[in-house]
Every structure is written in C-alpha cells, then in structure tokens.
Amino acid sequence: MKTILNALLFCLILLPASLMAQSTAIGNVTDKANAMPLPGVNVIIKGTSRGTSTDFDGNYSIELNQGEILVISYVGYTSQEVVFNGQSPIDVALVEDSAQLDEVILIGYGSVKKDDLTGAADLLKAEDFNQGPLVSAQQLISGKIAGVSVTSASGSPGDGQNIVIRGNGSLSLSSNPLIVLDGIPLDQGGVGGSRNPLNLINPNDIESMTVLKDASATSIYGSRAANGVILITTKKGKDSEFKFNASSSTTVHTSVDRVDVLNADQFRSIVNNHPGANAETIALLGNSNTDWQDEIYQTAFGQDHSFSALGSLYGVPMRVSLGHSDHDGNLKRDNFQRTTASLNLSPKLFDDHLKLDISARGNYTENFFADRGAIGSANNFDPTQSIYDSSSPYAGYFSWIDASTGNQPTLAGTNPVALQNLKDDSSEVRRFVLNAKADYKLHFFPDLTATVSTGIDQSNSHGRTLVSELIPTSDLTWNGSRSTFTNESTNKLFDAYFTYNKSLSDIHNITAVAGYSYQSFEYDNFSYDSEAEEDGNDFEFIDKSKNVLLSYFGRLNYDYDGKYLLTATLRADASSKLNPDDRWGYFPSVALAWNLHNEDFLNDNNSINELKLRVGYGEVGNVNGLGDYLFLTRYTGSQSTANYQFGNSFYQTYRPDPLNEDLKWEIGNTLNIGLDYSFFNRRVSGSVNLYQKQTKDLIASASVDPFTNFGSRIEKNIGDMQNRGVEFALNLIPIRTDDFEWSVNYNVSFNDNEITSLPFDQDTGGISAGTGNNVQIHTEGAAPYSFNVFQQVYDNNGKPIEGAFVDRNGDNVINDEDKYLYKDPYADIIMGLNTNLSYKKWDLAVVTRVNIGNYAYNDVSASNSYLDGVIPTTNNFLTNLHSSYLENGFTNQSNENTFLSSHYIQDASFFKIDNITLGYTLDNAIKNVSLRLYGSVQNVATITDYEGLDPEITGGIDSNFYPRPRSYVFGVNVDF
C-alpha cells in the first residue's frame, strides 16, 4: 500500500509540471508571392518579450506553451498570428503589405501610388526628417535628397534657408522652388521684418515633404514650378480616440570659431614698426587687450515647446496643435520668438461621397535683430582700445574723435558694442493661412470626383528701427533717428477640378484631371523716416501692387496591367506681369515608365522587388521674381530734394520708367531618364536619374541705346542656359534583428551649370574691397556667377607677389583684358550620408554632408589685409588687420587689381557632420504613456581647407558672415 501511495504522490507532483512543460516549435517563413525564404523575420510570443528571428534560410525555432500565440512580423509585410496547439513545423507565408507597396506620393492636384509614379519625385516622412534644434521647415530635408541643396543664410535663429534643386535656374529671376502647403502655393516674398517665410510652420506639424524635380512631375504647377516643387503635408485628424503629444526641448547655442584677426600685442607691434607711424600715431594706441568678437558674441539659449491632440469628436476627425519657440542668437541682442497654432478638420459626409479638409494655421513672430554691422566692425576695430571711455561724448563708449569737429572721423570704424547697444531693430509678424478643400464623388457617376479648393494666405508686419542720438557718428547734425514700416501681403487661391478614375477589365487604369486655377498676390507697404522729415524731405512712402496668375490644367495617367505607364500634362498660365500678347504660356510634359518587375520574365527572380525605368520630357515657364507691369509705362514722382524750381516755387515732376513691351516667358525644357530599384526584400532600394535642362529666353538686365527708352537698362529676354546632371540614391538596411537595426541613406548628385548663350557679359558679385568692384560675371560658356579675376603670381616659396599678375594677353599691360574665369561658387558634387541605428530602446542618428568643387571669395581677408590700411592718411584713428597680412605681407591698397586677385578665390569644399542625435524610448513609462528622451548636437564638425569662417556661403562671397552656432539640445517627447 505504501508503494502505491508513493507512486500516486509522485504522479501528482509531476502532473502540473507536465501540464506546464514547454514544447519546441520549428518553422519556415517565406514570401507568399515567390516562395522565397525571408531572413530576419520577427517571431514573438504575443504578450511577452520572448521571441526569436529567422535565419538566412527563413528558419526559426522557439520554445512555447500550449495555447500561446505566435506573432510573425516583418517590415513591408502584413503580420500573421498562429495559435500553438502542439503542431510543428509552423510554416508561414507572409503577404506584402499593400499599404506599404501602395505608398501614396503627392504629385499636385492628386496623388499616385509609388508603383505608378512616372516622374522624378522623392518622399520624406516625419520619421525620415533631420532631428535636432530645427526651427525652419527647410532644415528637415537638408542632406536627405539627391540634387537638393539647403543652405542657411546665416547663424541667426529662424533665418532664411536657400533651397536649390538641380542647380541655378535663372540669372535674375528667383531660383527657389515652389512651396505648396496642403495644396496652397505659398508666397515666398514675405513681408518686412520676416526672417523666413516658412517660419509660418511648426516643424512638429509636418507629416511629410515631397520634392518634385523634373518637368514631368512639376509641370502641373506650370510657371511657378520652374525650379522644382516642395509639397508639404501637415498632420491631419483621424477617426479614433484622442491621442496627445507633448514635446519640449532646451538648446544651448555656442560659437564655434572666430575671424582670424590680429590680437592686441600683434597690432601694437605692427603700429610701432609701421614706416608711416610717428609719435602722434603711436600715441593713439590704447592700453587694453580687447577681443571685440568676444564682446559681441555670447553663448545663447533657446527653447521649443509643442502640444498636439489628434482624434475624433462628434464623428469629425480633427487635430489641434500649439507651439512656441524662443531662441537667442549668438550675436548679442538677437532674438527670435514664434508662437504657432493650427486646427484641422476632416469630416466625411453622405456615405463618404463628400470629403472635407479644412485647415487654419496662425503664426505670430517677434524679432529683435542685432546690428550685423557690429560683425564687420569687430573684425576691424583697434584691439588695444577699451569698450568704455568716461570722457567719451557717446554714452561712455570709446570712439575715435576728430579734433577739428569733435565728432567721430568720417572713415573711422564704430565701436561694435555701441552699435549693438545703441540701436534697436525689432518687428512683429502675423500670418494666417486658411484653406478649405471639398472632394465630392458624384452619386450618379462615382468614377468622377469634383474638387474645389480655396485658400487665403495673409501676412502683416510692423517694424521699427531706433538709433540713439548718442551713437558715435561723423554727422554733425545727428539727433538720432526713427524709421518704421507696415507691410501687408495677401495671397488668394481658388482651384476647381474634376478627377476621373476608371479601371477596365483590371488591365486598363485611367486617371484624368482637368481644372482651373486663380491666384492673386497683393502687397501694401508703408514706411516712415524721421531723418528725412527732419531735413524737410519726403518722409512717408506708400507702395501698393498686385499681380494675378490665371491657369487651366489637365493631366492623363494611363496604366496598362501595372507594367506600362503614361503621364501627359498640359498647363496654360497667364501672368499679369507680361503684356497681353505674350501673357499666355503653354507648358506640356509627357512621361513613360516601365515596371519591369511586373513582367513575366522577372516573375521568377526572387531578388528583385522593384525595377522601373522612367523617361520624361516637359516644359515650364518662369517669371518668378520679375517686377510688376514692366511692359507698361510707369511714372515715378520726384522726391522733395529733386523738385523742379519755377520762380520761387518748387514743383514735383514725374518721369517715366524704362519699359519693355516684348518681355515673355523664360522657358525651361527638361529631359529626365530614371531608374527606380528595390532588391532583397527591400533591404536595398533607391533610384538613379540623368537629366538635362535647357533654359531659353533668360530674363536679365540689358543695356539699351541712348534716347530709345526712358532709362539705360531694361529687363529683357537675352540668353540661354543649360543644367546637366546625374543623381544617385541608395537606401540600405545591412542589419535587421529583433534587437538591432542599422539603416543607411546615401545620395550623391553631379551638376554642371553653363550659360550657353549671352550677347554680352554682365558683371555681378559686388565686394567691399575697393570702390564699385565686382568679382563675378555672367558670360557665355561658363557657369553663372563665375569668378572673374586677375591671375596671381607667386614666388618660389608659394607666397603671392603683391601687384604681380599674369599678362594673359601678352600686351605688357595689366588691365581688365587680362582677367580670366577662375572657378564658381556652386559645388560640382553634393553628397549626403545618413545613418540610423536602433538597439532595443536606444536610437542613434548621424547626418553628414559633402560639397566638392565649390569656391568662395574671401572678402574678409581681401578687404583688410594691407599694411597701409592700419593708419589712414588723416592719422586720427587706427584699423586692425586680418591675420593673412602676416602671410602675404601686402602693403598697398591703392592698386585695386589686388582686390580682384585669384589669391582670394579659395576652395570651399567641405565635409560636415550636421547632426548627431541619441535617444531612449520608454514604451510604458506610465500606463499608456510613451516617453522618449533625446540629446542632439547640431553643426558638430566641419572639415575644409577654406581659410574663412565657414565654407558654406550662399552666393560665394564671404563678407562678414554671421557664424552658424554649434547647438546642444536636450528634449523629451511624450505620447499618451
């Protein structure tokens, strides 16, 4: 009996263990479409953190209990769940996620699936954007897209960004792309006191940005799209429970570098040993050691906060957001503050036949502008002088004094700290954008959708500049000044179009769009100047203008069996800027694409997910940036200082302005050949594009014969230009496991820009050295803005010989005939390399850029590195030198040819680490709350041979540039 009892007890003990015993399941995961194994697939037990991933052959092995559920998931595929009831093997065939395969790309007045795209377009979603302390929307895509260059105008917070797509597109007109915000083409002219028109948008509100690059993709927007299009889509409401997001960050902006000028000891040595110095001159030296750049720059702080709510209320999907930014600049007294608010409503009515999208967006910006003249003054001011002088008549700030007048000498530099503290320059900018779009799928004809879109973009600004009567000046009558302005800008839009969608026999798919567009731009500007009023001159100015763009457009998309694609577009634009006879421009385009991966001969190729060949040709016009009504005779009234005297009375006169009745569209014709590819279960993807753009009838300033017009120069269609290039983009996922993923984005573009026809040269690129000097030129056979300089002669040690230049034409005279074209400011090669790594809850992103072949004119060195500039002939003030004097030893400023030396054209190629961001995510920091903490560094490092402050200079002339800061940010993002 005892033995039996022991046996029963043993069985009772083992029974729970046997019931809880785990089994081992094995299996294989494949792609259902081609039966190929999928490596790196996540196999997780639902509700737990236990799991594994498939090997290279798609096999896996996992231990689990009866009744547990396996979740099999893989990027780009629909997840599957399998209940374990002891079966093994558990083989699963995953189906590609149609939502990802059918990724929608906006193309203007509609959208297409990525698989059906025929033009050159790139889509970046919020998760692809650059991270860090980004105030402006343009910064989100810097370095991310092949052929797209984004350059900040300066290091001032919120300052403008220069965007160029596929090279410079014009000589005198705008080369900026069209920005379309939720269907509204924005006016980028801005109003006075606005740092950047795109400061309207809080970057946290942006869902995606699509860049349209070739004429096939852009021509639906006609003349406004001559330089490409950037479509910005903001986040919208969803039919779900409300979800909230709050984010906050603090930023520290630090100065990275300084202009290399002489310090106090070096400067004293130069003055004491100067051949033109005397006792009176040496007595001008002070006893201080002042680093003027340190005095005008500071470590600055900034903060960004935003909150958004997304969900559905009373059946209406909606999203509301608020944001606030406050950033000081590294230049003292520079400050940018922005408050944004947005509301989006997306209701659907009549069984989803009517879809409404209503958005309102407001922005209020307060700016305090530091006096950037202090930058140049700090570079030139005598470092032996102190900031303050108790005997100074100028509020206690040190100043040079002309004994004969008791004021500051005419040519003397002004104390840079006084410039900052005795001048107030501020503005307030308000901007409101409202747009409403209605899509109605006709009940009686469901293949046809009618769309009406209206919008208004309205801005107004108020600004004032107050200069103290105590600021150092040579003006004997100076009593201070006050100038003010009020600007208003109104952009109105009305679009109406029909969209026809039809599928026949599941083989023929047709989408046709036809519509009408009207857009007007109105400006109302007022300004006041107290100095002019005090002098008895005209002191109030009113300027109003308006221009209108009227358009008709149509597009046809045809898809045969998912293999052969056709897109044909035609837009007719009429601009009020041109005369009635040349007002209408007709801009057609056509594109063909071949989805090779859908062909039968590639069906058995399991390595190719996508292979598409594209060819497109199109034409677009350009009058962006052209003045209004230049084809009409316009009259300008004389100012009070130039009125006509008749007897003892003075009368205002009116003179006609130059006109050109023959102005017409600047036309660009673009050919694009492209290849889109995706291999190995989309672990390798990207595109290749070859393009050529011929721009004809370039609009530029031209001379006219005397007495044939009302001036000596007019805007005229006079030239042609060509852009040719290659773009390559690669997206790579080298590693993907349960815990670790590494992805790489690389893009490179080659661009060659050449003026192919121009009847006469045009000097441009004014510099501060000398009087009226220009260092750049537009000329046939060269890139626009090429440097036109004298070829410097060097000695055997590589040191430039002052005043010695190559006599290139051999006439024994050095004059303008000896100038030659030497480099240009545009990079031949632009690259972006972005790396993202994630390990469990950690993520790391690194953004880098490379420019090769861009050159810059070092105006800071050229204008201030001559010994005779230290002591002016009046001997009543001193001026500091750039340290390049110690290397070149130049003495004489009288030979202005020296300012135009090739010695100052310097290679500005660079490698930049733009951003490094490290983050950590807590999925359930608190119940249903996700928390992400991150730290970021912006402008991490720059590697370059350029001798100036920063090699990335818009326009190629480095003249007292406001340096870009290195920024450190710590932020938190909360979803709940």
The yes-or-no verdict on residue 302 having pLDDT over 80 is yes
pLDDT category of residue 8 using cuts at 50, 70 and 90? very low
Any idea which of 222-236, 366-380, 388-402 has the lowest mean pLDDT?
A: 222-236
Question: Are 801 and 795 within 8 A, CB to CB?
Answer: yes
Lookup: tokens for 766? 């004014």
Any idea which of 5-9, 786-790, 802-806 has the lowest mean pLDDT?
A: 5-9
Lookup: tokens for 227? 């330089």
Higher pLDDT, 50 or 852: 852
pLDDT in tens, 588-640: 999 999 999 888 888 777 788 889 999 999 998 888 888 888 888 887 777 76
**How high is the pLDDT of residue 65?**
86
**How high is the pLDDT of residue 341?**
95
The yes-or-no verdict on residue 447 having pLDDT over 80 is yes
Q: How far apart are CA 835 and CA 128, in angstroms?
A: 11
Q: What is the pLDDT averaged over residues 653-674?
A: 87
Q: How far apart are CA 855 and CA 150, in angstroms?
A: 17
**How high is the pLDDT of residue 278?**
87
The yes-or-no verdict on residue 20 having pLDDT over 60 is no
Name the residue with tokens 């690059």: 213
Residues 6+ apart with CB under 8 A from 391: none
Q: What is the DSSP letter of 871?
A: S
Residues 6+ apart with CB under 8 A from 729: 122, 145, 146, 686, 687, 688, 745, 746, 747
Question: Are 653 and 644 within 8 A, CB to CB?
Answer: yes
**How high is the pLDDT of residue 22?**
65
The three-class DSSP label of residue 304 is strand
**How high is the pLDDT of residue 75?**
62
Task: Look at residues 604, 736, 684 and name the one whose alpha carbon lies nearest to residue 35.
Answer: 604
pLDDT in tens, 743-759: 999 999 999 999 999 98
pLDDT in tens, 894-907: 777 889 999 999 99
Q: How far apart are CA 157 and CA 134, in angstroms?
A: 9
Task: Look at residues 247, 291, 252, 293 and name the one whose alpha carbon lies nearest to residue 157.
Answer: 252
pLDDT in tens, 691-737: 999 999 998 887 777 777 777 788 888 889 999 999 999 999 999 88
**How high is the pLDDT of residue 440?**
93
**How high is the pLDDT of residue 5?**
40
pLDDT in tens, 538-583: 778 888 889 999 999 999 999 998 899 999 999 999 999 999 988 9
Higher pLDDT, 406 or 368: 368
**How high is the pLDDT of residue 495?**
94
**How high is the pLDDT of residue 51?**
78
CB atoms within 10 A of CB 31: 20
**How high is the pLDDT of residue 101?**
47
The yes-or-no verdict on residue 317 having pLDDT over 50 is yes
**How high is the pLDDT of residue 99?**
47
**How high is the pLDDT of residue 97?**
62
Lookup: tokens for 379? 């570079």
pLDDT in tens, 935-971: 999 999 999 999 999 999 988 999 989 999 999 999 9
**How high is the pLDDT of residue 15?**
37
Lookup: tokens for 436? 């409403």
pLDDT category of residue 304 using cuts at 50, 70 and 90? very high
Question: Are 187 and 197 within 8 A, CB to CB?
Answer: yes
**How high is the pLDDT of residue 858?**
96
The yes-or-no verdict on residue 909 having pLDDT over 70 is yes
The yes-or-no verdict on residue 18 having pLDDT over 50 is no
Question: Are 774 and 789 within 8 A, CB to CB?
Answer: no
**How high is the pLDDT of residue 117?**
85
How crowded is the C-beta side of 354, counted as CA atoms within 13 Å? 8
pLDDT category of residue 363 using cuts at 50, 70 and 90? very high
Residues 6+ apart with CB under 8 A from 113: 101, 102, 103, 104, 105
What mean pLDDT value characterizes the chain?
88
**How high is the pLDDT of residue 33?**
62
The yes-or-no verdict on residue 21 having pLDDT over 60 is no
pLDDT category of residue 873 using cuts at 50, 70 and 90? low
The yes-or-no verdict on residue 3 having pLDDT over 80 is no
Higher pLDDT, 645 or 25: 25
For the chain, what is the radius of gyration of the CA atoms?
33
Name the pairing type of β-strands 855-858 and 957-958: parallel
**How high is the pLDDT of residue 518?**
95
pLDDT category of residue 2 using cuts at 50, 70 and 90? very low
The yes-or-no verdict on residue 856 having pLDDT over 60 is yes
The yes-or-no verdict on residue 467 having pLDDT over 50 is yes
Higher pLDDT, 7 or 180: 180
Q: How far apart are CA 665 and CA 581, in angstroms?
A: 11
**How high is the pLDDT of residue 516?**
95
At 337, which amino acid appears?
A: Q
pLDDT in tens, 911-926: 999 999 999 998 876 7
Task: Look at residues 903, 827, 817, 921 and name the one whose alpha carbon lies nearest to residue 866.
Answer: 903
Question: Are 399 and 389 within 8 A, CB to CB?
Answer: yes
